A = this chain, B = another copy of it.
């Protein structure tokens, strides 16, 4: 957190002190902002207060900004209630779907000149106030779903909030937001879930052969069903649109595989084109994992003993090399793990030689 003082004059009222609400409150408190906490659960409010996230609401509160962090299915009604209860406050929310919320607030007669929806692309697998952390949003995108009814001045308070929390402000319309998250979050969730579902009745011998690939594909299938039913329901049309296109591609691949015994080789072209298109698609993802070409990798074998991985990283540090990324691979039952280090290409030869000279087994 930077020590720069917040431009928010406060107080900021946070409604809903789960993971996101508590994290927002903690981040604002770290900037010295007066934070008021509210939640349907008095227990959650008490926990969040003990956690240092803010104070209880008082009758004389005049919040500058209200951040609604409640579950998606009640977000719109809470926004409308807050707009009405605090007629001078700007209200935003952090729900992961934006158009249905905006429409519902408008339909209920909420004052749109003081409401602008937003969505921080941040989260953790663990929920609840105890999982909150002041730095949850640092460096993460935070979408502001602007609309024509919001005044520049009102929107500025939300911009200040995002700046305070160290996130990167991304402006798009509610529709653009919803189609974007359908593609990069909601459809992948469904696909991961459905792949994982196939494993339920698999023989133990089959799942015993599983490697890193299927683990990666199915990791987010462990997400909370109750939350995701709400998210998928709220963004049903854009998500279904992505899934229909994927289903058409899947039908094509299934058809190609079913005809792979035939004498003509059209099936082969279909499957190869799909695989090549997948290559091209994954290249579009930003970030370190999506741009591994920027770094060189080396793989070091590490005995599965206390301190061994620590010693490796200590010695990488002594060589003055910064790790850009890191993957640890460890097979069940193996006495040896593999640490894949990603470093700047100009450092890899030097580091490889140095680690080998220190006795490390370089596996690639």
Contact = CB atoms under 8 A, between A and B. Distances in A.
A168 B226 CA distance: 39
A328 B326 contact: yes
A219 to B, nearest CB: 5
A280 B200 contact: yes
B272 A218 contact: no
A3 interface: no
Interface residues of A, number: 139
A191 interface: yes
A282 B222 contact: yes
B172 A205 contact: yes
Given A140-B331, A206-B179, A217 B217 contact: yes
A325 interface: yes
A311 to B, nearest CB: 6
A194 B317 contact: no
A208 interface: yes
A290 B202 CA distance: 15
Contacts of A326: 309, 326, 328
**Top 8 closest pairs, chain A to chain B, by CB:** A310-B317, A139-B334, A193-B278, A313-B313, A196-B281, A225-B275, A314-B314, A180-B206
5 contacts: A135-B363, A194-B246, A215-B290, A217-B217, A288-B332
